Structure formats: C-alpha cells, structure tokens
Structure 1
C-alpha cells in the first residue's frame, strides 16, 4: 500500500526537525561539559605555616623540611622602650628555633626550642598538624579544616622557695603544657585569605589563681599587596575566668590583654620573611594566649621577625601556586 504524499512529507519534516534538535542538544551538552569547573584543590591559602602569632591551615609537603626562626624584641615605646632601649632592639623577650617535616602532603610534625617570655622558660615543643579537609575550586568544599596539637615541656629549674610561683614544680607532670586547635580557613580569591581558629590551652601547673585550662578564638587574614608581598594580621580572644582575672589584677597587679599582631610578609623564592609588630612577648601558644600582659595603647608593642627556609628531599620538586 502506498503512503499518501502529505503523510510522507510530514514524516520527513518530523525526522529533520528531530535530527536538528538532537544535534543542537548534543552541541549544548558538549559546551556545558567544557564549561563545567573541575574540582581542584585550592592551594597556598597562606604562604607559611604561621601568620604572626598563630598557625595557618598550611602543612609541609611530603619529604620537605621547614626551618623557622622567630624573634621578639623589647617594647618600642612606653616605660620600658624609647631611645634609651633603642626602641626595644637592646632587649629580646623571646626566641624560637623550630623544624617541621612533612610525613605526607597532609600530615606534618614539628620540634622546637624557645627561650620563653615568662618565668616558665627553656621550652621544648613537639607538635603535629593534619589537613582534615581541603577547599575545592568549585566551592563544593568551601573551606579548609586543619587540626593542630602541641605538647610543650619546660626545663627551667623548679622554684622550691615560693609554692605560689609558676615554677614550683613537684614532679615531671607539672612541666607539661598542651595546645589544640581547629583551624578553619578560606581563600576567597588570589589576593585575600581568612581563618578562624577555636583553641584550647591546658597547663598542668600555673601560678596561684591562674587558670590551668582556657579556651580562646583566633582570627587572622592575609591581603596580597604585590606578587611577593602581603599584609598579615591575627588576633586572639581568650576566655578568662572573671574571678581569677580580678584576683590577679587586684592582688598580683597583673593585667591581661588580648594578643594582636600586624605584619608584612615577603616571599623570596625558598624563603618567607615576616616583619611584624605585636603586643605578645611570647611566641608559643601556651604562653602568649593566657599570659599577654602588654598593651598596644601603652606603647608596649614590639617588632619582631620570622624567617622560614624550606628544603625538599623529593625527587620531583613541589611548587605551590
């Protein structure tokens, strides 16, 4: 039986139309697939494992060693500063020399020795840092999470004459101090990164009426000024027990302030150099978070520096973008 001419023409038109729509749909699909973002990991949220006082989310690459020296001078102004002390350069409140090594790209360990900025001195620190989560370029994972923990042991001679002092140690356990942090960081663009870090500090032994355990929250950021230079800042808010704080202020004549640091970061190939200003006299978290007694408003801030040099033991060199 012959197909009527009209029906035949309609069939041909339908086939042509369907073919055209299919070709257009396939072309659109290919374009959309080409435009879809890939889920790459965001790298170099910060250029160093530390901002000024606090840690960043960064870890050391596998089989790489990071050598870091930190230094804090004396007060620039105030009663202990000025031209007589050459604006703090005649004094040194704290010095730290440390090493960090990458066991993997996400896990690093560290060892350090600090002078210490309080009566608790001769500090030996062991630390561990693990990238729990990494930010993705398509924002499916909008931020990075890093865990940090440290154990610091003081080797200073015990004070046997004053049982209320911070160094009246009776056994080895009294010399132990712990810090744990959850570092939440986000790289908003190539020029700006920000972090928030809930922190817990525990000291097995403290001076009379000082807190053994303390929570704090840190915030910090990095704003890129040029290809090799950036402005960095961090701030810590400790949550101190009011009764103990009032006692130490009234009886012990000790007033506490929140640590604030501002600095300039310079990257020169394998080196990262920080020139910074902060009211914190100490470098390690177990000291500057609970025991910063210097005020910016009184001129009791100091300049310091940190320099980091990284060595690679990998056969293939890793480069951060």
Structure 2
C-alpha cells in the first residue's frame, strides 16, 4: 500500500514538473510588447530649447519663465536681480505625441506659438526604435511700437518663423542626450548686412543626480546667419527640481530671449566676460481633459 502511494506521488510530481516546464516555455516564447521610453527629460523644455519630451494628452502645462539681469552688473543692481524679463506660456497636449503652445514675452513684447509632433517614440521590445524624433514649427510676432514711424511698416515685418528637428535618446535612467538642428527665418532684420535666415545646432543633456534632482544643459551653436563678433552662442546650465506636479528649473544663461527665434538670434552676452543671467522656469501641469497614460 505504501509503495503504491509513493508511486502515485512520484507520478503526480512528475506531471506537475512537466506542466511547469511547458508553462515556462510558453512564457519564453510569448512575444514581448513594445514599451515606450518616458521621462528622458522631466520637462518639455531642456532649459531654453524644446526637449524630446511631450505634454500628455489632455494636460495643460502652465509655464512661467524669468531671466534676471546680468550678474556682473554689480551690487548697485543687486547682481542683476533688480531687472527681470519673463515669458508666460500655455502648452496643451492634443495627443500624447502632439502638443500646441502659445506664449508672450516682455522681451520685444513678443507673442509666440508652436506645434510639436513626435512621429517616432523611443521604445524597447520587438520592432522598437532606439531614438525619439520630434518636429517643432513655430511663429513669433513682435508687438512693440515701431521706432521709425516715418516709413511704411507692414505687419509681416513683425513675423519670424522657426523649424526644428529633435533627435534624442534616453540611454539609461540617469542620462539623456539630444541633438536639434534649427532653422530660423526673420522677415525683417535690423541691418542690411544681416541675413534673414539663421541656422543653428542645439545640444541638450540631462544627468539625474537623485530621484527629484538632475543637472541639465543646453547649447546652441550658431552655424550661419549671424555676425559672431556681435552675437554669441546661447548656453544654459541648471538644475531640474521635481516637486509633485511642479517642475522647477534653476539656471544660469547668457540668453535673454525665451523662444527659439529670440534666444538664437538675439543673444549678445558673453559667458567668458561674466555676462551671465540667473533665471528660473516654473512648470505646473493641470489635467483638463481625459488623461491617457503614456
């Protein structure tokens, strides 16, 4: 009797083991799903320029940007804190890969708007793609009064346009990098010697230091269209600080402008001479539509 029970137990254990082996083979052979890579950057901007990140569908990003005066202006100007330029912006996610935005800066009393689309999203799994590709097109309009009222001024002269291609990759949980060639066209320039078309190459990077803090930097090399003796390459260095629904960025930059046309074509301050501005970006996300997970 005991031998029969032992034999029966052995048969049962054998079949259980065989079933587990078959299940493990099924799990191994089951195709994995594509997973999109998120949080390459904590904000839709690196610091000045657009990042490869998008606003989620149904989300509204209210952005307040400040740039103070130059630090080397001295204690009489409280090292630049007595002066301030700002931009107020509203970015909305129509889809997870389609964002629109508008903003207004007191620099040039300039209005701006953009459309941002991500045709390729970095992913893992079968059929995945190693980078994200993002397209941005924008328009700006200066609204300040004309300085020369003697000649006929056209509204089209107030307009400028930019187109940008962003190619970026999140290499791991700590480091992300992107390249972004930018083309800017200005309908009107200040001097006849200046070119209407400006070409630049942007580089953005993020290095995560802790769960809520990261070092971020963006730099735009002006390749063509500006006098490099007058205009400088905009460079910004700062920190991302995530606090719940807020992303707070503290930064130092030589740029005053806060949209692509402005900071690429109008930066004259020089880091080497201490012409640096302290500033911050404050981003607050509100869910105003039916949110969809990334």
Name the CA shift for 1:201/1:169 in 2 (closer, same or farther; >3 Å): farther
Partners in 2 of 1:305 and 1:44 — Cα distance? 20
Q: Find 2:55's aligned residue among 44, 55, 60.
A: 60
Gaps of 5+ in 2: 1-18
Q: Which residue of 1 aligns with 2:194?
A: 210
CA shift for structure 1 position 29: 4.7
**TM-score normalized with structure 2 length:** 0.87
Moved >2 Å (runs of 4+): 25-34, 313-318
Partners in 1 of 2:123 and 2:58 — Cα distance? 24
Q: Which residue of 2 aligns with 1:224?
A: 208
Q: Which residue of 1 aligns with 2:118?
A: 131
CA shift for structure 1 position 291: 1.9
Partners in 1 of 2:97 and 2:144 — Cα distance? 34
CA shift for structure 1 position 140: 2.9
- Show CA shifts across 1:273-313 (max 9, x none): 00000111211111211221111110101110010001002
Q: Between Structure 1 and Structure 2, which shows a larger proportion of strand residues?
A: 2
Per mean C-alpha deviation after superposition, the further-off stretch among 199-208 and 131-140 is 131-140
Larger radius of gyration: 1
CA shift for structure 1 position 159: 2.0
Partners in 2 of 1:89 and 1:265 — Cα distance? 21
Partners in 2 of 1:210 and 1:111 — Cα distance? 28
Partners in 2 of 1:317 and 1:311 — Cα distance? 13
CA contact (8 A) 1:130 1:146 kept: yes
Q: Find 1:194's aligned residue among 163, 177, 180.
A: 177
Q: Which residue of 2 aligns with 1:270?
A: 245
CA shift for structure 1 position 245: 2.2
Q: Which residue of 1 aligns with 2:12?
A: none
Per mean C-alpha deviation after superposition, the further-off stretch among 309-318 and 63-72 is 309-318
Partners in 1 of 2:271 and 2:165 — Cα distance? 27
Q: Find 2:78's aligned residue among 77, 82, 86.
A: 86
Partners in 1 of 2:287 and 2:27 — Cα distance? 41
Q: Find 1:295's aligned residue among 270, 283, 293.
A: 270
Partners in 2 of 1:194 and 1:173 — Cα distance? 36
Partners in 2 of 1:296 and 1:38 — Cα distance? 47
- Show CA shifts across 1:17-75 (max 9, x none): xxxxxx9x9788546426x6532111121111101111101221111111000010011
CA contact (8 A) 1:169 1:175 kept: no
Partners in 2 of 1:187 and 1:172 — Cα distance? 42
Q: Which residue of 2 aligns with 1:3?
A: none
Q: Which residue of 2 aligns with 1:307?
A: 282
Q: Let me know the Cα RMSD of the aligned residues.
A: 2.4
Partners in 2 of 1:159 and 1:113 — Cα distance? 20
CA contact (8 A) 1:158 1:169 kept: no
Aligned pairs for 1:1-321 (under 5 A) are: 29-30=25-26, 32-33=28-29, 37-77=32-72, 81-92=73-84, 94-116=85-107, 121-138=108-125, 140-160=128-148, 170-208=153-191, 209-241=193-225, 245=227, 249=229, 255-315=230-290, 318=293
